[in-house]
Structure 1
Amino acid sequence: MQLTPTFPEQNISIARVGVIGGGQLAWMMAGEAPSLGLELVVQTPNESDPASPFAAETVLGAIDDATATAQLAKSCQVITFENEFVDLPELAKLERQGVCFRPALKTLEPLLDKYMQRCFLRELGLPVPEFFTLDPGEPIPEVEFPIVMKARRHGYDGQGTAILKDRESLEKTWERWGYPPVILEAFVPFDRELAAIAARNSAGEIAIYPIVETQQEEQVCRRVLAPAEIAPSIVLECEAIARTLLERTQAIGIFGIELFLTPNGKVWVNEIAPRTHNSGHFSLDACRTSQFEQHLRAVSDRPLGSPELLYPGAVMVNLLGYESARDDYCDKRRQLAEIPNARVRWYGKSESRPGRKLGHVTIPLNAPDFQLRKLGLEMAKTVEAIWYG
């Protein structure tokens, strides 16, 4: 099927952005689009998905349904991504017909498979742990424990990642996953986990948000502290990693870069997400330009906005499902909204299940630098006592 989309390269102002995915990331993008004079068209499996009611148009289809993406392309001038669960070979057929994807498929290609991503990062000279691949049917080699096992594709929010302490747990976990292709990598004994959110537009302009500390439980992000309480030299190193990655991939859009910081001050790259990222949600209520507005600016050929914090700091707490239920938790949301200066973002998902991201709370922090982390953790405890208590 031959398409006749409108190209950004034709110097026609971009007014409609297509998004493959209709979850909370697309929902937050949809909230920022009107201020830029943009409309969003989303491709998503269900009309009840969070972004669908707020989109100018919805194309119903699975994330990896290229036929639905072809339909999406008829309604917008550029297409971007909410997640990485796409079928690149099928999208490449559309790209050859003139569909504009941002980030470009050549940018995504080395990043979607975790083994290929690790190889690519190593080629760039970025610091990554030792790693190797393990394919179905191969015997498990002798390895040092603890070790980290990751599914090469489709892992998210702790799914497809396991920290394993012995050979028996490795064998049982791989069996439970169904023996997919995986990578095994050396466990990094980190002191803190960090993240860099960075954007690049087609003019080569780059904006990097304050480096943040992320705190995980069971490999799922629970809270984010902005800015991270780290030495200026570590900040510069994290920013340099982000800049190298965006420039070498010729990225257009926002990237989330997950990092480890060891007790001796060594920074390691954990994973790259070529999209808006959970660790940047604080920017929606605490930065001059949110990561969602910034991503739309980048993919629609607009100048990037300032990523600076509007307050000395901020803490973001994820509201994770803790039960299987159909509940909008109105009473708990009301209690959270009563916390001074708290901003509650509820994603409107139809049902809860353990570990599912249902919303988040951001609280600005006003304190001297040396007290920000302590205050942020105290506020996070307040939020979590209401939500999980």
Structure 2
Amino acid sequence: MDAKLGMRLKKVEELVAFVRRSSVVKIGDAAFTTMLNLLSDMFFSMNLAHYDSNFSREFKDHLRITLETAGSRNIADYFPIFRFVDVQGLRRRGRFHLSRLICIFEEIIQRRIESKETKNDFLDALINLSQETHSTLTINGIAHLFLDLFITGTDTVSTMVEWAMTELLRNPDKLKKAQGELRAFAGNKLIIEESDISKLPYIQSVVKETLRLHPPSPFMVPHKAEAEFEIDMEEKYLFWIPKDAQILVNVWAIGRDPKVWEDPDLFIPERFLKNEFDLNGQDFRFFPFGSGRRSCPGMVLGDKMVHLLLTSLLLTFDWKLENGIKPQDIDMNDKFGMSMEKAIPLRAIPIPIKS
């Protein structure tokens, strides 16, 4: 992880440079392009997209619709008789957009093989492995592996950064407090480094509060019961869970439970200054990345990048809403799916404060 520190900082600098030359920024799209290029540079030694190109937008659309169809209510889940009939067209729609993503990765892999160029990156390692005798790894298999990595590493981080900026712009006092902590600590620094994050308790609290209100995967990855069991609900009644039942953990509801959180629907980062919650899933009141062996493997990278992207936007720029929109009028609706995006993307005007 530390070996790629320079690369992560370089991508943050590219984001800041893009924001400087922009009159209005779609926060989610800018963060998505940054993460897309970070992962593609790590795996392929190249940037997949430019901030001013359409590729990032198209890639995100394919990804969003794939996740949206995967998280949609399927009538076949309630009436198994329809399992072999695509009544709602979900399989057809999802398959189309999934195939577009797979094609992108297969083309990258094929070009590397045909060029015979060696870059000693992750892609080279997988190609060499696939060409070994008796290897079962195929180009299509490598493409699916990259699809999994990009799905978990791009959309979740960009969604979190967008929600954090939305909540701060909606709460100007919290924005002022976050920027005050950042600027007092940074001095003449243009970018906060990863080693500085632990010295910024309020920024960490902003991220945790955003994760509480807007978890990147509201229902987490589905689990399955290995054996039947019962859940005692405060000694009032029992839930019986049969073996092999699919279990969805609703971390969105847990994060807004009034029995657990005071004023659960309000954005109050200060609540995390008083409590020692971490992201490792040890406390079942707050585990946005899961817990145990099924916790998110990209948690460390995701946590680092959310903090780096958010601090770079807050340190280098002041922000205001376009078209005279008032903070209290920001649309807070979301889209239901495997990840929870804003229904209406956040657009904000950057005001540079450092040259």
- What is the TM-score normalised by the length of structure 2? 0.27
Which of the pair is proportionally richer in helix? 2
Computing the radius of gyration over CA atoms, which structure comes out larger, 1 or 2?
Answer: 2
Q: Relative contact order: is structure 1 or structure 2 higher (C-alpha 8 Å, sep ≥ 6)? A: 2
